Amino acid sequence: MSRVVITGNGAICGAGAIPCSILDALLSGRSALAPITSFNAEPFRGGLAAEVLDYDGGKLLGDRKLLKLVRRSDVFGIYAGTQAIEQAGLSAWREMLVDAEAAQYSDQTGCYVGSGGGSAQVNYDFFPLMAETQNDLSMFGRELSNMVNPMWLLRSLPNGVLCHLSIRHQLKGPNGCITNHATSGLLSLIESAWALREGDAQRVVVVGHEAPIEPQHLLYLDRAGLISKDILRPFDEKHDGFFLGEGAASLVLETEMSAQERGVTVLGEYLGGGNASEGDGLFLLRRDGDGLSRAIEFALADAQLTPADVGMIVAHGDGTQESDASEAKALLQVFGSEMPPVTGFKWAVGHLFAAAGLFDLAIGLEACRRRVVPGISNLEQLADSCAGLNVSKQARPPRSDVVLVLCRGFAGTNAAVLLRAIR
């Protein structure tokens, strides 16, 4: 089975617009969480989020006309994907090929995207007409086409990034759009790696994106008791919930042969991935961390590694009491007292939902390439329920070049991916 290597890495969030600047913010202890500016968040607990400030969709896309067809979340995904594609030199290489070779190259280059199933914000276009017509559905139906943007459906579909990124960069190989809540990005990466391993493609662009900071979404999460009152504190004794973030991340994966033929710089190697479900309910988590520990064990088996081989762990660390406690138990079950340094990034960038896992992977890869495990800057006192977890307020060196990234989503979904950083 051919080795799968990483040749491109892109990311954007409230803390920065490229992986290296985002990591610099984490290492300096800067949090992007701040009062929400895009709408009145006073009715909600906390009222904080990690927004991408000075947002200019046309500038990020390089095409203002495309804004008519895509959502804010799509803008982030296309931007991050383009970053990774440019770093890997995919389009530049194709342009040097003759027509027949270029066509074959495009056919062997795929795209997998993890996105949210849809944003509540896409329904806001209907509100003015609903208010005007009250309960008269006949009038609502007659006036719908006059008041709602005809591009509404195209803007609402979850596969916008897959579509527009593939068209722009002629990615004509295998493709897929996964909408499995917060694990969407990592599952897209696992799927893409199997496409390469099975010979279905030679190169794949992987993207995870989401922009969940909007009133209806925040209302539901607040009512469910998942939003923090003041600060997102992973694994801390005062942890009481998370805040939202927005953005995207992207990696370019290739077979080792493809990377060697193109002579590109290799940033890392995909080693293995696993996922498991607990299936106990929409918000319920098993206290023993069974689903997450099984996902880790599946990933280790896929990579043919032992727990001792792992050099650092980027935990899900969302700051909710049940998730933090069960994640700590899962890590203790797999690694015991020989646990490598553990960190997490949500304290600074919020919870990016569908983009969260792939974002943590992109920044975790950059961190391991620099030989540093960022500290959780606002950690004060480890919660009793997380006792034994090898986390720190300060940055530390990893014990090897292998990164384990964990991600969890609603309905008991758990995913784990292992990478090797190459400098």
> What's the pTM value of the predicted model, to 2 decimals?
0.94
* 396-409 pLDDT tens trace: 999 999 999 999 99
Task: Please state the domain count of the chain.
Answer: 2
Q: Which of 130, 153, 176 is the last residue of a domain?
A: 153
* 48-60 pLDDT tens trace: 999 999 999 999 9
User: Which contacts (CB < 8 Å, 24+ apart) does range 257-266 have?
Assistant: 257/2, 257/202, 258/202, 258/203, 259/5, 259/7, 262/89, 262/93, 264/7, 264/88, 264/89, 265/7, 266/5, 266/6, 266/7, 266/422
Confidence of residue 116 (pLDDT cuts 50, 70, 90): confident
Tell me the residue ranges of DSSP E strands in 127-202: 175-178
More confident residue, 224 or 331: 331
Q: Are residues 41 and 167 in the same domain?
A: yes
Q: Are residues 322 and 283 in the same domain?
A: yes
* 278-289 pLDDT tens trace: 877 666 788 889
Q: Are residues 205 and 287 in the same domain?
A: yes
- What is the residue range of 128's domain? 122-153
In the prediction, which pLDDT does 14 show? Answer: 98
Instruction: Tell me the C-alpha distance between 205 and 227, whole Å.
Output: 33
Q: Is residue 164 helix, strand or coil?
A: helix
Q: Are residues 10 and 38 in the same domain?
A: yes
Q: Are residues 25 and 43 in the same domain?
A: yes
Q: Are residues 320 and 365 in the same domain?
A: yes
CB-based burial, 37-67: b 16+ in 10 Å, e otherwise: eeeebeebbbbbbbbbeeeebeebbeeeebb
CATH code of the domain containing 294: 3.40.47.10
Q: Are residues 77 and 146 in the same domain?
A: no
Q: Are residues 30 and 129 in the same domain?
A: no
Q: What is the mean pLDDT of residues 2-18?
A: 96
State the amino acid at position 111 in one-letter form. C
Q: Are residues 258 and 144 in the same domain?
A: no
Q: Are residues 149 and 275 in the same domain?
A: no
Q: Are residues 236 and 371 in the same domain?
A: yes
In the prediction, which pLDDT does 42 show? Answer: 83
